[in-house]
Amino acid sequence: MPGMTTTNHNRPATIEWVGDAASGHLRLIDQTKLPGALEYLDCQDVGSVWHAIKRLSVRGAPAIGVSAAYGCVIGAQAGTFGESADYLATSRPTAVNLFWAIDRMKGLGTADPARLLDEAKAIHAEDAAMCDAIGRNAMRLIKEGGGVLTHCNAGALATAGIGTATAPMYTAHDAGRKFRVYADETRPLLQGARLTAWELQQAGIDVTLICDNMAASVMREGKIDVVITGADRIARNGDAANKIGTYNLAVLARHHGIPFYIAAPTSTFDLACPSGADIPIEQREPAEVQTAMGHPLAPADVKVYNPAFDVTPAELITAIITEKGVIEPVTEDAVRGMVG
């Protein structure tokens, strides 16, 4: 495909800047079209970046942050850097990387597109390097012949690199280790089915898709040795918000004596947030639950409760793997020691 770039493992680039600082634009994989079609969005104005984040064409906390940084450059091109940065911050409320990246761009104290583009590219490169570091730090969790359960997509599609929760999978696979990944489908938007299963298959990793309500059974059957998920915001005490259904897995893992890990960069920690009770949880449209890929699943007028995320308490998390090292046990002091 013309203009397409690739990253490691022959994957198409999730996020790409095309052109120069004066007139360039952001190119994203439209993840709402996967796995049926690999299509791209060319975002040439701030509104298109905002909508890409809001409608989940780009998703995953690190990828949202990188995209917002490039969105700030596009705002500066139009002479509206400050307003654009504030507008982008309204796209989604839970993923702290969004606000971290925008604050970093604002912190430069300039509206020069060239300077802002340099910073956005630095954020992009740092995110890819962070993924590699998480992969090295967490590779030990994946044993030869073992089974790994993951939820939603904290993979290459959610970052600028090899993912967070998937980073040890790619690293172990590259080292020749044989293992199995079980990917939860992740209702209601099926990110595990549409995205994680797709990208792991593309990389040649042994992946099996399961329905969300099968997790307890595959644990009881001895198929799972470790659970690894990502996170969208981690509070000061170690409570972690991630895609709805993650809390379920942590409870099930504890019951079955299976270690439960979170893989996330230090930019996902929010030290100003005391606990998970203080994390804002995004509420999404009822239609996401009432329908599937445009097909009705429920009465159109039925009441729907559709939180996008839940919070896993720190006491259920065996450890948090970051690019700087491993937080274990997960306590406020340990979080501050690693992040603060």
Residue 68: give its domain's CATH number. Answer: 1.20.120.420
Are 12 and 71 part of one and the same domain? yes
* Residue 167 in domain: yes
For the chain, what is the domain count?
2
* Residue 122 in domain: yes
Are 28 and 147 part of one and the same domain? no
* Residue 230 in domain: yes
Are 73 and 148 part of one and the same domain? no
Are 220 and 306 part of one and the same domain? yes
* Residue 1 in domain: no
pLDDT of residue 10: 57
pLDDT score of 299 more than 60: yes
- The pTM of this model reads 0.91
Half-sphere exposure of 258 (CA within 13 A, CB side): 27
* 251-279: pLDDT as tens digits: 999 999 999 999 999 999 999 999 999 99
* 14-56: pLDDT as tens digits: 999 999 999 999 999 999 999 999 999 999 999 999 999 999 9
Q: Which residues are catalytic?
A: 232
Are 221 and 113 part of one and the same domain? no
Nearest to 85 by CA among 97, 74, 95: 74
Residue 211: give its domain's CATH number. Answer: 3.40.50.10470
Q: What is the DSSP letter of 161?
A: S
pLDDT of residue 2: 29
* Residue 229 in domain: yes
Q: Mark which of 87, 108, 131 sits at the end of a domain.
A: 131
* 207-239: pLDDT as tens digits: 999 999 999 999 999 999 999 999 999 999 999
pLDDT of residue 212: 97
**Strand, helix or coil at 87?**
helix
Are 18 and 68 part of one and the same domain? yes
Are 78 and 148 part of one and the same domain? no
Are 233 and 175 part of one and the same domain? yes
Are 238 and 269 part of one and the same domain? yes
Q: Residues 313-332, buried b or exposed e (16+ Cβ, 10 A)?
A: bbebbbbbbbbeebbeebeb
- Provide, rounded to the nearest whole percent, the portion of the chain with pLDDT above 90: 95
* Residue 318 in domain: yes
Are 221 and 275 part of one and the same domain? yes
Q: Please report which confidence band the pLDDT of residue 8 belongs to, taking 50, 70 and 90 as the band edges.
A: very low
Q: Mark which of 86, 110, 131 sits at the end of a domain.
A: 131
Q: Rounded to whole angstroms, how far apart are CA atoms 251 and 53?
A: 30
Q: Mark which of 96, 131, 166 sits at the end of a domain.
A: 131
Are 260 and 113 part of one and the same domain? no
Q: Rounded to whole angstroms, how far apart are CA atoms 96 and 315?
A: 22
What mean pLDDT comes out for the span 3-24?
74
Are 160 and 112 part of one and the same domain? no
What mean pLDDT comes out for the span 313-330?
98
pLDDT score of 5 more than 50: no
Q: Please report which confidence band the pLDDT of residue 335 belongs to, taking 50, 70 and 90 as the band edges.
A: very high
Half-sphere exposure of 302 (CA within 13 A, CB side): 13
Structural domain that includes position 61: 6-131
